[in-house]
Structure 1
Amino acid sequence: MRKLSVADLPDGGTPATLAAIGGGWGPVRRGGISRYDAPGHRTHAESDVHVHDVPEIFTIVQGAGVLELDGAPGPRFAAGDILVIEPGENHHLISDGDVPLVFTWMHLSAPAD
């Protein structure tokens, strides 16, 4: 897992940015935007193991919380942070701010051969 800020992104547009932070993985395979109003909301059920075979990139738009990583509390995050979850890392976002948690998420494609 890597934590960046918007200021860490290179200039040059979306393809350059994803190549830089995605570690050579391909373009976005799927993605979306999510909103959670309640403090303490966890992005997946407590008993769920949530992993992917490609990187997932979260951009925190509003709110704050804690990333749970491989069953343990990880770093705190807030608006403006970018979280890069590596393939195989079990991950959940837990909101704890005073405003709704809003974030974008993207699953990258496998690297091109």
Structure 2
Amino acid sequence: MRKLSIGDLPDGGTPATLAAIGEGWGPVQRGGISRYDTPGHRTHPESDHHVHDVPEIFTIVQGAGALELNGVAGTRFAAGDILIIEPGENHHLISDGDVPLVFTWMHLSRPTD
């Protein structure tokens, strides 16, 4: 897992820059935006084990919380943070801010030869 802030991006976070964060992988395969209103909400409630075989990039738009990574909650995040989850990392976002947690998520695609 890597954590950046939007301020770390040289051009403010264009799609090209966001794809470059996952250098060596293909372009964004799919993505979306999510909102969780309740403090303590844990993403991916359908399973205690949530992994991908490609990187996933979260951009925190509003709110705050902690990242649970491989069963350990600890990495704090807040609006303006970018979390890059590596393939195989079991991950969940847990909201705990005073306002709803809003974030974008993107799965990169497998590299093309």
What TM bracket, shorter-length normalisation?
over 0.9
State the identity as a percent. 84
| TM-fit CA distance, 1:46 | 7.8
TM-score, scaled relative to structure 2: 0.93
- In the other structure, the counterpart of 1:18 is 18
CA RMSD across the alignment: 1.5
Query: In the superposition, relative to structure 1, how do residues 19 and 44 fare at CA in structure 2: closer, same or farther (>3 Å)?
Result: closer
Alignment of 1:1-113 (within 5 A): 1-11=1-11, 13-15=14-16, 17-45=17-45, 47-113=47-113
Distance in 1 (CA, whole Å) between partners of 2:47 and 2:103 is 22
TM-score, scaled relative to structure 1: 0.93
Query: In the superposition, relative to structure 1, how do residues 103 and 13 fare at CA in structure 2: closer, same or farther (>3 Å)?
Result: closer
In the alignment, structure 2 segments of 5+ residues that lack a partner are none
Distance in 2 (CA, whole Å) between partners of 1:63 and 1:18 is 21
Aligned residue identity for 2:10: P
Asked whether the 8 Å contact 1:40–1:94 carries over to 2, the reply is: yes
Distance in 2 (CA, whole Å) between partners of 1:3 and 1:13 is 17
